[in-house]
Structure 1
């Protein structure tokens, strides 16, 4: 059984779901320390002026060190209306935007108190649209008293009955102790992801955007192909990509 894990980011990019699709179980690390200026409360979309951040305002002043699942959204800010207007302005002409408009409008009409609840709701919806059947497990619901990243991941793998851990290919090699994985009998592998080039609004393809850009422009079927091409056959692939 393969385990992967990541913080519950806000409307993550394609690579997040690519890694998730290759695991049997995926841990949403919601009880680790929240970091500002990260993808936990923001994501990027494409506009006529290239990339733009969509940021969920959160309460951090006088809060001290917070775990992700403790972070509250700043409800005094009218961020929902701003987000929704930004999506409509930049994606209303995208071929598949109308298929998702009702869902996102409803998301932005809700009064969210905790960032993690918003993020997990979006991740779960996007996971289903991409036909990912991987089971999700919040780390806060798995009792582990371990400090180092390596020990924690090994503990999660054992607790969930997994014998392989799929890590991201970014900076993970800097903090994961491969020898400890070997000694614990957990096979450590690194996910390899090549960002697809696809037709977007406003010119050439820009990488690193939220996966909603792919869904709005290409639809769920093409999105599923890019996430796991072995599971999807596209008769119209030649004109959609």
Structure 2
């Protein structure tokens, strides 16, 4: 099965769970930007609960191709994101294991959101040892047929997927398990075990 999806910022756990089920990953490179989506935001767990991290963009609207969308570095979002991530996961078991690699991606300051997301994705794929062929669409196609599973727009910050089935794992904050956060939460808390969890989340304990 070839999984087709949009490219997210620090994608969610379910995003990578689905990626492990696929034979090949295909990312939409010819869509127009959609506001208030996971394309430029993620959710992490802090001492204050679940909070969103959003990457500001320059003139992002429905007429802008996602591959041409510029990041707004006039705002101090990188400092805010990194301080928030440090505060949230500095005491997590595997924060120091991954932190320098992650910080290096931010320090490159890519001009485009699509490039930032792709750089982060490559890093996560490496951490998770997700050995799948990765490609980009060559043109926009509205409807796909099997063996392509069209997951574009399936995950959205304002809706909980019907097929979300994740067993609790240890988290830094909160008495109640927070579901489907960014992959950052899983990696910082479980480390190398994150791959095992993603491939069998209902059996993990």
Residue 54 of structure 1 pairs with residue 53 of structure 2: yes
C-alpha change, 1:96 and 1:136, in structure 2 (3 Å) is same
Contact kept? 1:19, 1:168, Cα under 8 Å: no
**SS of 2:2 mapped into structure 1:** strand
Residues 24, 133 of structure 2: 8 Å contact kept:
yes
| Matched ranges for 1:1-241 at <5 A | 2-60=1-59, 65-139=63-137, 142=138, 144=139, 146=141, 149-150=142-143, 153-154=144-145, 164-168=147-151, 193-203=164-174, 204-220=176-192, 222-229=193-200, 241=205
> 1:88/1:165 Cα in 2 relative to 1: closer, same or farther (>3 Å)?
same
1:146-200 per-position Cα deviation (integer Å, ceiling 9, x unaligned): 4xx21xx24xxxxxxxx5233559859xxxxxxxxxxxxxxxxxx9551221110
Give the number of the structure whose residues are more often helix, by fraction.
1
Question: Residues 73 and 170 of structure 1: is their aligned pair in 2 closer, same or farther, counting only changes over 3 Å?
Answer: closer
Count of aligned residue pairs for this structure pair: 197
- CA deviation digits over 1:190-220, x for unaligned, max 9? x955122111011232012101101101112
Provide closer, same or farther for how the CA distance between residues 64 and 46 of structure 1 changes in structure 2, counting only shifts above 3 A.
closer
TM-score, scaled to structure 2: 0.87
**TM-score calculated relative to the size of structure 1:** 0.74
Tell me the distance in 2 between the aligned counterparts of 1:117 and 1:59: 15
Q: Residues 50 and 19 of structure 1: is their aligned pair in 2 closer, same or farther, counting only changes over 3 Å?
A: same
Q: Give the greater-gyration-radius structure (CA).
A: 1
Quote the Cα distance in structure 2 between the aligned partners of 1:27 and 1:39. Answer: 17
Matched residue, 2:158: none
Listed as ranges, the gaps of 5+ residues in structure 1 are 155-162, 173-190, 231-236
**Conserved in 2, the CA contact under 8 Å of 1:81 and 1:108?**
no
> Bigger relative contact order, structure 1 or 2, given CA contacts below 8 A and separation 6+?
2
How far apart, CA to CA, are the structure 2 residues paired with 1:3 and 1:145?
Answer: 16
